[in-house]
Structure 1
Amino acid sequence: MASIKERIFRKEDPSVYETKDSHLEKTLTTKDFLALGVGTIVSTAIFTLPGDVAALHAGPAVVLSFLAAAVVAGLVAFAYSEMASAMPFAGSAYSWINVIFGEVFGWVAGWALLAEYFIAVAFVGSGLSANFRGLIAPLGLRLPKVLANPLGTDGGGIDLIAAIVIILVALLLSLGVSKASKVENILVVAKVLAILLFIVVGLTAIHPHNYVPFIPKYRLNPDGSAFGGWQGIYAGVSMIFLAYIGFDSIAANSAEAKNPQKTMPRGILGSLIIAVALFIAVSLVLVGMFKYTAYANNAEPVGWALRHSGFGIVAAIVQAIAVVGMFTALIGMMMAGSRLVYSFGRDGLLPKWLGQLDQKKRPNHAVVLITIVAVLVGAIFPFGVLSQLISAGTLIAFMFVTLGIYGLRKREGKDLPDPSFKMPLYPVMPLLGFLGSLVVFLGLSKEAKIYAAGWFVVGLIIYFTYGMKHSYLSQKNSQGEA
């Protein structure tokens, strides 16, 4: 009988995933993946983060924070593109690392991403709810606090609007990815047009003196974090990186791609390029309209800047479209999260019913689970605590993927296909991607690292008490040895 060490470090045969995922409908094109990526990356954050980071850490140099975060995200995106081209499996990093390094490493990477999806879905749902309530407030429509806020927050019991929106998106996904992608495509176009409207109108209200000094003098904030100087820019990078991690949602759906060799790199890299351009443009315009200090503790800097520049109607239009556009992030995250949960069930690491498809080949059991968890997380937990887990968990998965390129190259053209897209400047670029992710991770708060450690302890307990015993890979090898 194999030892525990041999069992947990065994690697999955990629042909097994090809067979298991062959039942998923392959309907998604490059256009769908671009919409999915832009819709997920360019979500609530673009309307809030530029103002927050400028006021808290970087001043006008918030643009440099976005640019530095984009460089790291870009390095990782190249690795994701090659991985997704060579292994278009559901579950993205979880499945890839399972094949390259072994089951226990795959579980850790997948568990890291699961934190992102569970919390991010609830986080975006809460942001949509807050913006929607802000829109209807001038009409005299207000929900009682018990139905407007999470449990224990300002007299709250449950964020009812967030829960309803998450359930509506789940119902849309249950109809299949082709229908969800059509809705996604339309909403992404509307959201991008709203952002472009802000940029064009905002350019007419820029005051050049607001950019001076571009990099404010370094000092410490009351909470001990850095403001100004290169230290403030670095602090901004760790805060901003959360905005760029959405390209994982594209890779998670690669098993449903048409011609993944071409569609996956185009979707992943193309959506990131579009998102970076939009984030940098919004940041430049926003800090040019008003001095960065005006955005301190401002929950809606884009709308506020437009209204205080005399563009009230434009502000209402942009915010209304932004609320609708937040559906795109929910669609992308719930699609990706449900495919990850499906992958865990497919491999027996979580109950096998999660890996079952319905009569129309849709992983709706996994959709139900991520919906229930997201609603509960959004109803019960304060986001100031949990949102830090999103970046920490995802950065750990990114480190696995960038290092995984070295193992992938040894097997391309052998038991894995030789993909048409490969990460350039090998072997230097994968190392740069790993080091960049590590540097951003080290810049996270102490609390974020503690929460991440706790999340991984829980994950390892689940693996060793349930996953390892029920894993199809372990069972298959045990039967082979018998």
Structure 2
Amino acid sequence: MGKFLKRLLLKEDPNVYQVKDAHLSQVLTVKDFLALGVGTIVSTSIFTLPGVVAATHAGPAVVISFLLAAVVAGLVAFAYAEMSSVMPFAGSAYSWINVIFGEFFAWIAGWALLAEYFIAVAFVASGISANFRGLVEPLGVNFPKQLANAFGTEGGVIDLVAMIVVLLVAILLSRGISGVARVENLLVVLKVLAIILFVIVGMTALHKANYFPFIPKYHQNADGSAFGGWQGIYAGISAIFLSYIGFDSIAANSAEAKDPQKTMPRGILGSLLIAVVLFVVVSLVIVGMFKYTNYANNAEPIGWALRQSGHPIVATVVQTIAVVGMFTALIGMMLAGSRLLYSFGRDGMLPKWLGKLNKDKLPNNATLTLSTIGIVIGALFPFAFLAQLISAGTLIAFMFVSIGIYALRSREGKDLPKPGFKMPFYPVLPALAFLGAFVVFWGLGNDAKMYAILWFFIGLIIYFAYGIKHSYLGKKNKEN
């Protein structure tokens, strides 16, 4: 038993990752990471969640839910910033935990993140599809149900637009990271301008009465979830946290950063700060324009609020840019997911061809695999079934990274480099980051926890049936 446990806790030598990942092109700057982070975090959710969460959980206090969720995300982001400045390896949390805690825990964390990326690709693609179809319907362009919905959902066979956008982004990624960064930077600027336009126009239609009562009286919704009071704010935090998790996609690409000790902390913390400001301002404006009850079951609250306040042209402009801007989140998730799959292949945890780079030093086998699985998930499963897995899996990885700071500190300046950024108020903040992620996880619905357990059970089967036998770390240990 002791030998088996020792095998599970085998740790990777960080120099091995440094050598393997050196083949990737180090071209991304702070500006690129800020665009990647803002593009991934400020995605579909900023155009929907402020209104939806206000209507279903928090009322005008949705602003408090966004701020508290941001505090938890910020604490974890501090840990991510230190980790990525010390270990700028592809695969982020998976690679870090392999160095700090060992292979088995690394697999658990990496498998959790893989759920986020697979499902997020399907989610964002279906979001682009739904918004695109909504924009072209007034022009008389209608997609048949078979080509507009996931298999078995409202007569659907496959979401054709979602499939096409995933393929388009996969082609873009296969052409090189520099080209991707240029497209991402442009789209993010457009998306932020659209949000600012909404805020400026929306502020002309605010009504003081809509902010009161700021924290509505508590009651239970028909589905058993909380509305109003601090219970509703807490339920709102767990629903909203999905919005902030995109900053981990920056860390997944740290092996392609220029001067990662400075670039990574600035990219991670800077993009999260920009995102928090945008989310809070949009929340304040949208609940001030109309009573929060108007946003119940409203799939496009921002567009609706602009049209109802007499700004149909602005609504069309904002929604059009929103559709284009959603590509930034798809690019970010596919970029991060492909680097994680590459890391699994690099280490022999999944078939080694996933860890192969082409002549242009790009992990295109991993990109193709991620795209294919994303298309299959989006085609076969309605998003309502899968969405909760995103937050559940990512929060588990966040807990590992937060607690990992304690193990990291004792090795900095010894077998690991000195960090370009240190998590402040050590040793208190790592514990608070861990507890914050755990509290948000606990607030998720029972379905989310059940799906997470099922996903981890599948992951354990793959690890013990394949990963532990083919792992390069295990083979190296046998040779020694």
Query: Taking structure 2 as the reference length, what is the TM-score of the superposition?
Result: 0.99
**Matching residue of 1:14:** 14
Shift of 1:157: 0.5
Which residue in 2 is equivalent to 1:269?
Answer: 269
Displacement after TM superposition at 1:245 (Å): 0.2
Q: SS of the counterpart of 2:205?
A: coil
Q: Residues of 2 paired with 1:39 and 1:4: CA distance? A: 43
One-letter amino acid of the counterpart of residue 82, structure 2: E
Residue 420 of structure 1 deviates from its aligned partner by: 2.1
Counterpart of 1:70 in structure 2 is 70
Q: Deviation string for 1:10-39 (max 9, x for gaps)?
A: 000000000000000000000000000000
Partner of 2:406: 406
Where does residue 459 of structure 1 map in the other structure? Answer: 459
Between the aligned partners of 2:299 and 2:433, the Cα distance in structure 1 is 32
The residue aligned with 1:197 is 197
1:111 corresponding residue in structure 2:
111
Shift of 1:6: 1.6
Q: What amino acid is the match of 2:301? A: P
**SS in structure 1 opposite 2:12?**
coil
Counterpart residue number, 1:180: 180
Distance of 1:268 and 1:397 partners within structure 2: 16
| Residue of structure 2 in register with 1:392 after alignment | 392
**What code does the residue aligned with 2:157 have?**
G
Q: Within 2, Cα distance between the matches of 1:450 and 1:178?
A: 40
Alignment-mate amino acid for residue 368 of structure 1: L
Letter in 1 for 2:197: L
Deviation at 1:4, TM superposition (A): 2.3
Aligned counterparts, 1:46-195, within 5 A:
46-195=46-195
Counterparts of 2:476 and 2:283, CA distance in 1: 53
CA distance in 2, matches of 1:434, 1:127: 31
Q: Letter of the aligned partner of 1:205 in structure 2?
A: A
Indicate the SS of the match to 2:48: helix
Partner of 1:237: 237
Alpha-carbon distance in 2 for matches of 1:263, 1:417: 15
The residue type paired with residue 386 of structure 1 is: L
2:213 equivalent to 1:220: no
Secondary structure, counterpart of 2:410 in structure 1: helix
Contact 1:2-1:478 within 8 A present in 2 as well: no
Amino acid at match of 1:455: W
**SS of residue in 2 equivalent to 1:411:** coil
Cα deviation 1:27-80 (Å, max 9, x = unaligned): 000000000000000000000000110000000000000000000000000000
What corresponds to 1:445 in structure 2? 445
Q: Which amino acid aligns with 1:98?
A: N
CA distance in structure 2 between the partners assigned to 1:2 and 1:299 by the alignment: 54
Alignment partner, residue 378 of structure 1: 378
Deviations 1:105-162 (A, max 9, x none): 0000000000000000100000000000000000110000000000011100100000
- 1:43–1:326: 8 Å Cα contact kept in structure 2? yes
Cα distance in 2 for partners of 1:66, 1:238 equals 10
Post-superposition offset of 1:291: 0.2
Q: In the aligned structure 2, how far is the partner of 1:95 from the partner of 1:366?
A: 16
Deviation at residue 227 of structure 1 after TM alignment = 0.2
Mind listing any 5+ residue stretches in structure 2 that lack a counterpart?
Answer: none
Deviation of the 1:335 alpha carbon: 0.3
Hey, what's the Cα distance between the residues in 1 that align with 2:115 and 2:52? Answer: 23
Q: Is the 8 A contact 1:303 1:318 kept in 2?
A: yes
Q: 2:296 corresponds to which residue? A: 296
The number of aligned residues is 480
**CA distance 1:213–1:2, shift in 2 (3 Å):** closer
**Partner AA of 1:364 in structure 2:** N
Which structure 1 segments of 5+ residues have no match? Answer: none
Measure, in 1, the Cα distance between the counterparts of 2:12 and 2:245. Answer: 26
Question: Which amino acid in 1 is paired with 2:328?
Answer: T
Q: Distance in 2 between matches of 1:118 and 1:460?
A: 18
Partner Cα distance (1:221, 1:2) in 2: 50
Q: Do residues 419 (structure 1) and 419 (structure 2) align?
A: yes
- Residues 251-277 of structure 1 show CA distances to partners (whole Å, capped at 9, x for unaligned) of 000000000010000000000000000
Letter in 2 for 1:262: K
Distance 2:177 2:157 in 1: 33
- For 2:126, what is the secondary structure of its paired residue? helix
Deviation sequence 1:458-482 (CA, Å, 0-9, x none): 00110001000000000001011xx
- Give the TM-score of the pair, scaled to structure 1: 0.99
CA distance in 1, matches of 2:133, 2:356: 38
Aligned to 1:361: 361
Paired letter, 1:208: K
* Residue identity (%): 73
Q: Measure the CA separation in 2 of the matches of 1:137 and 1:213.
A: 38
For the residues of structure 1 that align with 2:308 and 2:329, how far apart are their CA atoms? 28
Aligned mates of 2:3, 2:352 — CA distance in 1: 24
Mapped to 2, the partners of 1:427 and 1:5 lie a distance apart of: 28
Q: Give the whole-Å Cα distance in 2 for the aligned partners of 1:234 and 1:93.
A: 27
Deviations, residues 429-450 of structure 1 (Å, cap 9, x unaligned)? 0000000000000000000000
Question: In structure 2, how many angstroms separate the alpha carbons of the residues matched to 1:33 and 1:2?
Answer: 43
Letter in 2 for 1:451: Y
Please state how far the C-alpha of 1:2 moved relative to its aligned partner: 8.9
Matched, 1:331 2:331: yes
CA contact 1:89–1:255 (8 Å) conserved in 2: yes
Per-residue deviation, residues 143-196 of structure 1 (Å, max 9, x unmatched): 000000000111001000000000000000000111101000000000000000
Cα-to-partner distance string for 1:255-311 (whole Å, 9 max, x where unaligned):
000000100000000000000000000000000000000000000000000000000
Shift of 1:3: 2.7
